[in-house]
């Protein structure tokens, strides 16, 4: 069978199983939330199935879920979800073996302690505690899982062996599924991701080694062939601890998966060399990590996931899928079940939020400033100081929050496995306390930084919320308007990278394109329940939305949806953070997302760091891009911008005539002029 045909057939089955799960969910009326939870549940079940295929669950029972479903049905109908799966999720995978109640152990059998947020009670499960799913749904889903061959590796099987679903294909399924939810049907080929990451990581690592050691390596292959003690010592002590890699629009994690695998391939030869050398530094490194040839891939992946890989996306669901896939990749490398207890916590590195809205740096000094008195009474200056609306967050308070968060984070990442029992407090409880405390500090700071952002919008720039009720009206912005934007405050969330390292070492991504503003696609995604209630199919709405705006409910929803973009556009247009976005033009002009991402990535990049972005083909020539490109010429070494056609295909699902460009630069130095190379043929 043709591989592409086999993949499409399996993807259709994947979509069908998701649809059956959505239809079988009882207790969530909202269609969007029902689809969301179905995706979460499907991801959990795939992970558990892969665990049982590896023999890591139920004492090696490769039919664990099927057997447990049969046992549940013997006790009574339609109890599998509520009386088995929920216990497995919340008590089995979230509690060490010796902490589980005896009845839970009898019910579940041998189950590893994963300690992962993937199995913590989801906010949808907490909001809808009376969720029910009939057994028939799981019968079909488990049959689908068992009927398909699975190859639990990121390396495809040899061509002479029967085609199987490997983790790369599963990643493509999730990516295609997610794009379909956004009414897109295209995604970047895994081979393209691999080539781009290879180029970016190779450029950064090879240059760092050459500069430090006065070597003349040209490629990673040259470097691997020339490994010696000084090179290995610098790789593990000088580069790896500072190697922060970011995808600023990571989606379901396809790019990060490739980056993770490539980094493992880069460092595994170093592990092999370090195990044979007499270098005290390398021996200490191997001993500290507990590395050996059997566990090196797993140990490297675990460290890289905690310390090196970072991803941001606007969609919470996409981020949840990305975390799932990265943990699947990790578990595929685990030599034994004991190695995965517990899994790393990825919520600190792979986060949901708007990469464009929020502070790259935080002005601590401004927090304590008080506006002057005027005319015998206190009033705000026309350009208010940051502290005015931020009380009681003073600079002292902010620094304390930041310091405690950083200490807790370092302790959690580096010392969790080394914790000793403290009295009657088990190690896993200490780790959970640290995680909860970090989350609490993050939420505390997020709320107060959002207040600072509100001040930036309202007091500094005078931006108001515009809405239509027959005619356009205005009101003051409030904290809810900031919260709905879900801003990423880089200066707090990634303070250690930005302050200690000067920024991210390598940034690579395919950011969203097009103007910031309302689209029919995102409206259909957000208001799926309303469209279903009004019996309007998304394809019909996408084809021509104007007739449906005669519907009062749809018109009201569209006005509410559209109004959110006005104050965001105006802020991005006047904010000092985007000082190169067409200065002097109308505040109401929509801004291009790709240019905003380009400027933001430059600000997030460390000196000598590498950035690569896939952008629209017209970008180098459009007038709006010239201020940003001029800034890049002044502060980066900008490679020639190369324009391509999608032939051969970089993007699955797009026509060969589709055009795009690849922009790459290294921060530092300057470039004489923008050079464009046209490879469209």
Tokens of 542: 């996408």
Q: What percent of the chain clears pLDDT 70, i.e. is strictly above it?
A: 86
At 472 the pLDDT is 80
3-state secondary structure of 352: strand
Mean pLDDT, all residues of the chain = 85
Contacts of residue 518, Cβ cutoff 8 Å, sequence gap at least 6: 558, 561, 562, 565
17 pLDDT above the threshold of 90: yes
- Evaluate the CA torsion angle 519, 525, 530, 536 in order and state its sign: positive
Q: Across 317-364, where does the E strand assignment appear? A: 350-352
C-alpha Rg value of the chain to the nearest Å: 26
pLDDT tens-digit series, residues 100-142: 999 999 999 999 999 888 999 999 999 999 999 999 999 999 9
Q: How far is CA 148 from the centre of its chain?
A: 28
Give the whole-angstrom CA distance, residue 256 versus residue 247: 7
252 pLDDT above the threshold of 90: yes
At 361 the pLDDT is 82
Q: Which residues pair with 678 in a beta bridge?
A: 643
Give the whole-angstrom CA distance, residue 243 versus residue 235: 10
- Residue 200 confidence class, pLDDT cut points 50, 70, 90: very high
Segment 371-390 shows an average pLDDT of 33
Segment 641-665 shows an average pLDDT of 94
Nearest to 473 by CA among 566, 362, 538: 566
Contact between residue 485 and residue 163 where contact means Cβ atoms under 8 Å apart:
no
Q: How far is CA 18 from the centre of its chain?
A: 22
Nearest to 627 by CA among 603, 598, 669: 598
Tokens of 559: 């006005």
Nearest to 314 by CA among 276, 354, 341: 354
Nearest to 480 by CA among 564, 361, 558: 564
At 493 the pLDDT is 87
Give the whole-angstrom CA distance, residue 200 versus residue 216: 18
656 pLDDT above the threshold of 90: yes
Give me the count of residues in the chain: 681
At 2 the pLDDT is 55
Segment 219-223 shows an average pLDDT of 90
At 365 the pLDDT is 53
Nearest to 361 by CA among 389, 386, 392: 386
667 pLDDT above the threshold of 90: yes
3-state secondary structure of 92: helix
Contacts of residue 323, Cβ cutoff 8 Å, sequence gap at least 6: 117, 118, 253, 346, 347, 350
The domain limits of the chain are 3-148, 188-352, 365-483
At 158 the pLDDT is 63
φ/ψ (deg, to 5) at 171:
-60, -40
At 368 the pLDDT is 40
Contacts of residue 442, Cβ cutoff 8 Å, sequence gap at least 6: 405, 492, 493
3-state secondary structure of 225: helix
- Residue 468 confidence class, pLDDT cut points 50, 70, 90: confident
Q: What percent of the chain clears pLDDT 90, i.e. is strictly above it?
A: 56
- Residue 85 confidence class, pLDDT cut points 50, 70, 90: very high
Contacts of residue 238, Cβ cutoff 8 Å, sequence gap at least 6: 208, 212
Work out the angle between the directed axes of helices 296-307 and 316-332 (0-180°, nearest 10): 160
CB atoms within 10 A of CB 443: 10
pLDDT tens-digit series, residues 538-580: 999 999 899 999 999 999 999 888 888 889 998 998 888 898 8
Nearest to 318 by CA among 357, 358, 355, 350: 350
At 436 the pLDDT is 76
pLDDT tens-digit series, residues 394-432: 455 666 666 766 766 666 665 444 444 555 566 667 777
Tokens of 112: 């590893």
pLDDT tens-digit series, residues 582-629: 655 544 467 899 999 999 999 999 999 999 999 999 999 988 899 999
Contacts of residue 239, Cβ cutoff 8 Å, sequence gap at least 6: 205, 208, 209
Contacts of residue 445, Cβ cutoff 8 Å, sequence gap at least 6: 398, 401, 402, 405, 489, 492
pLDDT tens-digit series, residues 479-532: 999 999 999 999 888 988 998 899 999 999 999 999 898 999 999 998 999 999
């Amino acid at each position: 069978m043709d591989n592409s045909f086999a993949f499409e057939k399996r993807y259709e089955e994947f979509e069908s199983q998701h649809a059956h799960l959505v239809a079988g969910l009882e207790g969530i009326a909202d269609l969007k939330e029902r689809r969301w939870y179905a995706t979460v549940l499907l991801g959990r079940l795939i992970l558990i199935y892969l665990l049982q295929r590896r023999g890591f669950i139920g004492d090696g029972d490769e039919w664990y879920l099927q057997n447990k479903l049969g046992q549940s049905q013997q006790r009574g109908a339609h109890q599998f979800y509520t009386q088995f799966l929920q216990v497995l999720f919340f008590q089995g995978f979230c509690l060490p073996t010796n902490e589980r109640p005896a009845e839970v152990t009898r019910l579940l059998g041998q189950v590893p302690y994963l300690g992962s947020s993937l199995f913590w009670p989801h906010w949808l499960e907490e909001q809808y505690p009376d969720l029910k799913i009939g057994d028939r749904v799981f019968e079909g889903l488990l049959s689908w899982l068992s009927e398909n061959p699975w190859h639990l590796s990121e390396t495809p099987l040899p061509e002479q062996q029967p085609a199987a679903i490997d983790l790369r294909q599963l990643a493509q399924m999730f990516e295609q599924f997610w794009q379909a939810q956004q009414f897109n049907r295209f995604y970047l080929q895994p081979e393209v991701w691999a080539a781009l990451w290879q180029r970016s990581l190779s450029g950064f690592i090879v240059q760092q080694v050459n500069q430090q050691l006065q070597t003349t390596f040209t490629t990673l292959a040259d470097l691997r062939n020339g490994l010696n003690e000084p090179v290995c010592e610098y790789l593990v002590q000088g580069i790896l601890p500072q190697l922060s890699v970011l995808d600023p629009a990571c989606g379901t994690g396809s790019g990060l998966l490739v980056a993770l695998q490539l980094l493992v391939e880069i460092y595994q030869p170093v592990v092999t060399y370090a195990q044979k050398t007499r270098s005290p530094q390398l021996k200490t490194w191997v001993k500290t990590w507990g590395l050996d040839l059997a566990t090196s891939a797993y140990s490297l992946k675990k460290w890289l996931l905690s310390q090196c890989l970072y991803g941001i996306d606007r969609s919470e669901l996409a981020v949840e899928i990305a975390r799932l896939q990265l943990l699947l990749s990790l578990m595929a490398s685990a030599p034994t079940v004991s190695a995965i207890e517990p899994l790393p916590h990825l919520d600190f590195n792979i986060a949901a939020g708007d990469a464009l809205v929020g502070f790259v740096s935080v002005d601590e000094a401004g927090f304590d400033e008080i506006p002057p008195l005027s005319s015998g009474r206190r009033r705000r200056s026309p350009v208010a100081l940051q502290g005015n609306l931020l009380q009681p967050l003073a600079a002292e308070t902010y620094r304390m929050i930041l310091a405690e968060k950083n200490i807790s984070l370092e302790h959690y990442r580096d010392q969790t496995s080394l914790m000793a029992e403290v009295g009657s407090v088990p190690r896993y409880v200490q780790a959970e306390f640290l995680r909860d405390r970090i989350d609490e500090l993050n939420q505390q700071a997020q709320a107060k930084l959002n207040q600072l952002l509100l001040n930036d919008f309202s007091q500094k720039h005078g931006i108001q919320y515009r809405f239509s009720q027959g005619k356009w009206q205005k009101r003051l912005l409030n904290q809810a308007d900031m919260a709905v934007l879900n801003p990423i405050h880089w200066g707090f969330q990634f303070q250690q990278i930005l302050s200690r390292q000067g920024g991210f070492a390598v940034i690579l991504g395919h950011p969203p394109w097009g103007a910031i503003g309302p689209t029919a696609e995102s409206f259909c995604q957000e208001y799926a329940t309303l469209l279903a209630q009004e019996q309007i199919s998304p394809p019909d709405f996408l084809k021509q939305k104007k007739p449906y705006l005669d519907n009062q409910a749809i018109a009201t929803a569209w006005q509410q949806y559209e109004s959110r973009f006005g104050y965001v556009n105006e802020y991005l247009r006047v904010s000092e953070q985007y000082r190169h976005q067409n200065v002097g033009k109308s505040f109401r002009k929509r801004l291009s997302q790709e240019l905003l991402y380009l400027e933001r990535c430059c600000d997030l990049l460390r000196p000598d760091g590498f950035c690569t972005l896939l952008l629209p083909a017209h970008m180098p020539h459009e007038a709006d891009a010239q201020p940003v490109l001029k800034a890049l010429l002044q502060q980066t070494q900008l490679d020639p911008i190369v324009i391509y056609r999608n032939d051969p295909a970089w993007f699955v699902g797009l026509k060969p005539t589709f055009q795009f460009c690849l922009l790459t630069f290294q921060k530092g130095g300057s470039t004489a002029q923008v050079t464009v190379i046209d490879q469209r043929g």
